[in-house]
Structure 1
Amino acid sequence: MNDTRQQILDATAALLEHTGAEQVSIRDVCQAAGVTAPTVYHHFGDKNSLFEAVAEEGFRRYLGTKRSRKPSADPLADLRRGWTDHVGFGLAHPAFYRLMYGTPNAETRPAAREGHRVLVGILDRLAEAGRLRLPPEQAATLIHTGSVGTTLSLLSTPDGPGTAGLSERMRDAVFGAVLHPQDSPGGDEAASAQLARALLATLSSRRTPELTAGERGILLELLRKLAP
């Protein structure tokens, strides 16, 4: 049973790597997995539940990398690596990522909460070193929102104006908001504010269907804090 369920998940994940979720049908899944439709419905109930399970599978794969890494002696390096890994996973696995983070209630999944705990753990170490401007939980919310918004924006308009180096610039802007200036990468608050204002203007003037209303609101709130 479990082997069949995993077989269906793997087949669906492989399909999603090559096409968007809206293009994948139960028939496609059955053909790819070598099973019948009743078998899919037996294990997952319906298409939405199947995609929810695939999102969990995406988190499992993403968190597998995090679990395999031991914390380094430098929590700031771990924080930077965490941002890079997050954005990199999203760009390498766009269909997975949109199911993981571009759907309602994404943050309530157990795997998402585990990822949050990993981030807070790094920030706890930075707080102990006196590097944080904010409590770790607040800093984690800002960093997570910034990384998700950046990744979804890059997936939506990968060749848009200003996207070259966007992840690094946004990372430095967000880190500059949560870390003391002497410890923040880049350290140029004026440049961070300028970047935030540019992103705020861009997001305010166009639709972002890849973001939920809640995610868009949080990202806009973050950018307003970064661009006083």
Structure 2
Amino acid sequence: MPELENDQSPRNRILEAATSLLRESGRDAVSTRSVSAAAGVQPQTIYRQYGDKAGLLDAVVAEGFREYIASKTARPRSDDPVEDLRSGWDLHIAFGCENPALYVLMYGEPDASRPLTSAGQAADILRELVEAVARAGRLRVDVETAAAMIHSAGVGVVLTLVAQQCFAVEGLADSVREAVIAAITTDAESKGARGTSGSGTHAPNNRAASNHAAKHAIALRASLGDAADSLSPGEALLLDELLRKIAAS
């Protein structure tokens, strides 16, 4: 946690000590006594700064998300949004295997009653990656569904790997990554995608035309941005409903 190294206030010494204990020895090692000893403070100081152990662990999780987000935002984007999805997936898997106990707290035991802003920021980064695929006309499902599929599959893979100490399931992460990407993306548009036809091919061409329209509806919905501000609330709702229906075709 480099951002904490120059701040040796009791609060940050406690946070740094708890994070180190978690990473080195697991959650059970993070007790009030062990943290206070490692941080060089009285146990009462932990309660004054963080309320209780749950509050301290929330702070550790928030710091973990900040570290994760920093690594995601530092990674340069390429000119291929699908490859950026792959890179983001690989970074997520690597972070989980490098920080197993922290990852389990971040993603394996979320507390819906105390949502973290930093967790929402991580989800926003994933959505931005998916929206870039949609704007390129290469997303075959809506943005929300694609992001949910990637997130749930990625978390499931990491938790499986963590349970096996990240060694026992060789090739799992790559195989699931490619299966999910195949399910949510499509290749660049090929000849005949618009459904222009020859004799006896109406059904396949109709299907191709429908797929073509769906991809572009998804792309338009992801690309609207500030342009939607020129619409009335009713118009915006109607347009969104129409695009969703076309995308679902």
Q: TM-score range by the shorter chain?
A: 0.7 to 0.9
Aligned to 2:39: 33
Quick one: which of 162, 166, 170 aligns to 1:164?
170
User: How many pairs were matched up?
Assistant: 182
Q: CA deviation at 1:160?
A: 7.7
CA offsets 1:140-188 (integer angstroms, 9 cap, x no match): 0100000001000100123786x101000111111111112679xxxxx
Q: CA deviation at 1:115?
A: 1.1
- Which amino acid letter does the alignment assign opposite residue 4 of structure 1? P
Aligned to 1:94: 100
Unmatched runs of 5 consecutive residues or more in structure 2: 1-6, 190-249
- Which amino acid letter does the alignment assign opposite residue 21 of structure 2? L
Quick one: which of 124, 142, 146 aligns to 2:153?
146
CA–CA distance in 1 between the matches of 2:166 and 2:154?
18
**Which deviates the most, 17-26 or 123-132?**
17-26
Aligned to 1:121: 128
- Which amino acid letter does the alignment assign opposite residue 17 of structure 2? A
- Which amino acid letter does the alignment assign opposite residue 53 of structure 1? A
CA–CA distance in 1 between the matches of 2:42 and 2:171?
45
Going from structure 1 to structure 2, the CA distance change for 1:134 and 1:108 (only over 3 Å counts) comes to farther
**Which deviates the most, 139-148 or 64-73?**
64-73
Equivalent residue runs for 1:1-228 within 5 Å? 3-105=9-111, 108-158=115-165, 163-180=169-186
Report the RMSD for the aligned CA atoms in angstroms: 2.1
Normalised to the residue count of structure 2, the TM-score between the two structures is 0.68
CA–CA distance in 2 between the matches of 1:30 and 1:149?
34
Normalised to the residue count of structure 1, the TM-score between the two structures is 0.74
Unmatched runs of 5 consecutive residues or more in structure 1: 184-228
CA–CA distance in 2 between the matches of 1:35 and 1:166?
44
Q: CA deviation at 1:129?
A: 1.2
CA–CA distance in 2 between the matches of 1:151 and 1:179?
22
Percent of residue pairs identical: 40
